[in-house]
A = this chain, B = another copy of it.
Amino acid sequence: MKKLKALKVGVVGATGMVGKSFMETLEQRKFPVAELRPFASESSLGKMISLQGRSYACQVLKPGCFEGLDLVFFSSGDDISRDWAPQAVKAGAWAVDNSNAWRMESGISLVVPEVNGDLLKNQNQPQIIANPNCTTMQLVVALNPLQKKFGLEAVRVASYQAVSGAGQPGHDELMDQVRDFDKNPNPTPKAFAHPILFNAIPEIGSFNDLGYTSEEMKVMSETKKILRTPDLRVSAFTVRVPVLNSHAEAVWVTLKHETTREDVIAALQAGEGLVTEADPRKYPTQRQVSGQDPVYVGRIHQDISEPRTWMMWVVSDNIRKGAALNGIQIAEQIEAFWL
């Protein structure tokens, strides 16, 4: 049986929420790490990061910092990824990038292993591999088996997104608003445009001239790229809700062919990385799936207004499968890393 080589791994953004989840997930999956090189901002310089019984000091990015590494995971914002991911590749490392910087570049693979992991086959040359947006991630894992079995015509999604999608500042802002509620019921927002406690905010990212947010544009363009369905009609309405972790999505998916509920359920149940709750009375919730690897789907039912359209509720941990885990799954699938 082939065995994953022990790798020298860099993590850019090691002290952020996704960085921390990346370490945790490496640990849980017993991913063989020969050396960890954690990168963070100046303020974390020298901070120790523990992994698999060893400790590693945080470094700052500087020329030559990736020398000798096999893989660098980037989770530190678009600008850093745009500048530094090519440096990692030049140094001979694979760059798995969790930012938006490279996802839609032609020639860059945007990968969810369960969906289009085949893109990593026969690739032995270090390169940038992009990790999709977390909201896209769980959506395509649920759409993939339906696309394969029935073909997709249109997808509409309204999201219920956790504050952890805005990183530690988002998480802390909601927690502070909860703890201070009696003293300060109308807090001044910082991480979000409005108080997030007891509110839903239909603004994630920045607005474009079409009236969409950047988050919505990502979901629409990335979904088509990953599913390799450039003509698929995708429409997203993304909303931040006062949930600490995991994103939920109300999805309408119009299939190319009419089918039965049994066949839709069977297709979803065969979907990779997907846990399907067939009983429409049960359904996953964001609290339940936090800390779990799979994407969960429930409330699967036919749209009574349109027979080829099916409705479902898709929930997943946006930090784990939505970011860190997917990066590790990509690393696990890169053939060059196997003995």
* Interfacial residues, chain A to chain B (CB-CB below 8 A): 154, 156, 158, 160, 178-179, 181-182, 186, 194-195, 198-203, 207, 210-212, 220, 233-235, 237, 239, 241-245, 248, 250, 252, 261, 280-281, 283, 285-288, 299-306, 309, 311, 313
Residues in B whose Cβ lies below 8 Å from that of A233: 305-306
Contact A306 B154 (CB under 8 A): yes
With A179-B182, A210-B302, A281-B207 given, is the CB distance from A200 to B243 under 8 Å? yes
Contact A198 B304 (CB under 8 A): no
The residue from B154, B202, B234, B286 contacting A313, defined by CB atoms under 8 A apart:
B202
How far apart are the CA atoms of A243 and B287 in the complex, in Å?
16
Contact B160 A244 (CB under 8 A): no
Q: What are 8 A-B contacts defined by CB distance under 8 Å?
A: A178-B181, A179-B181, A198-B286, A199-B286, A200-B241, A202-B283, A235-B309, A237-B252
**This chain: copies in complex:** 2
The residue from B179, B182, B250, B288 contacting A239, defined by CB atoms under 8 A apart:
B250
Shortest A218–chain B CB gap in Å is 13
Residues in B whose Cβ lies below 8 Å from that of A250: 158, 202, 237, 239
Residues in B whose Cβ lies below 8 Å from that of A301: 210-212
Contact A241 B160 (CB under 8 A): yes
How far apart are the CA atoms of A220 and B305 in the complex, in Å?
9
Residues in B whose Cβ lies below 8 Å from that of A300: 211
Residues in B whose Cβ lies below 8 Å from that of A281: 207
Residues in B whose Cβ lies below 8 Å from that of A304: 210, 212, 220, 235
Contact B285 A201 (CB under 8 A): yes
How far apart are the CA atoms of A286 and B200 in the complex, in Å?
7
Contact A283 B203 (CB under 8 A): yes
The residue from B203, B242, B252, B305 contacting A242, defined by CB atoms under 8 A apart:
B242
Contact A287 B194 (CB under 8 A): yes
With A210-B304, A301-B212 given, is the CB distance from A287 to B237 under 8 Å? no
Contact B198 A244 (CB under 8 A): yes
Chain B, Cβ-Cβ closest to A199: B287
Contact A242 B241 (CB under 8 A): yes
How far apart are the CA atoms of A181 and B46 in the complex, in Å?
34
Residues in B whose Cβ lies below 8 Å from that of A309: 235
How far apart are the CA atoms of A212 and B199 in the complex, in Å?
25
